[in-house]
Amino acid sequence: MTTFSVLVIDDEEDFVTTLVNRLQKRKIEAQGVTSGEAALEALAKADFDVILLDIKMPGGMDGIETLREIRKRQPQAEVILLTGHASVETSIEGMNLGAYDYLLKPVKLEDLLVKIAAAYEKKSTQDKS
């Protein structure tokens, strides 16, 4: 079975920990960070197939700024945005910047896993062509 790598970026630490554990149980290489700045460090060290990115993060780098950096540094990665109802417009901006899709929070873990698998499927199809 081929495995793939996922980076989870969200300021909610519990969410990141839970999701990373669930992915690892499925033999997916998963790593989690809680800020845009930490995401840049992770991107400098490894390539990711799928990146989950929270739109709303406190501190220096918000989701859209982080997305712009991801697109520059790892354009091959499929990015799934996580968004609250209040920031759907921002998600559409993110889609225009090349994100794969977005999901509304709170999101069911099962839905997230399905979306991650679909994003990876799309990426591996493109890699072959």
Contact between 93 and 118 under an 8 Å Cβ cutoff? The reply is no
Using CB under 5 A as the binding criterion, the count of chain residues that bind Mg ion stands at: 3
Nearest partner of 2 among 25, 20, 22, 27, judged by Cα: 27
The CB-of-15 to Mg ion minimum distance in angstroms stands at 9
Encoded one letter per residue, x for contact with Mg ion by CB under 5 A and - for no contact, window 8-37 reads ---x--------------------------
The CB-of-90 to Mg ion minimum distance in angstroms stands at 12
40-79 positions binding Mg ion, by CB under 5 A:
54, 56
Nearer to Mg ion, 11 or 69 (CB): 11
Nearer to Mg ion, 4 or 39 (CB): 39
DSSP character string of 41-76? HHHHH---SEEEEES---SS--HHHHHHHHHHH-TT
The CB-of-20 to Mg ion minimum distance in angstroms stands at 16
Nearer to Mg ion, 54 or 78 (CB): 54
The CB-of-105 to Mg ion minimum distance in angstroms stands at 8
The residues of the shown chain that bind Mg ion, judged by CB under 5 A, are 11, 54, 56
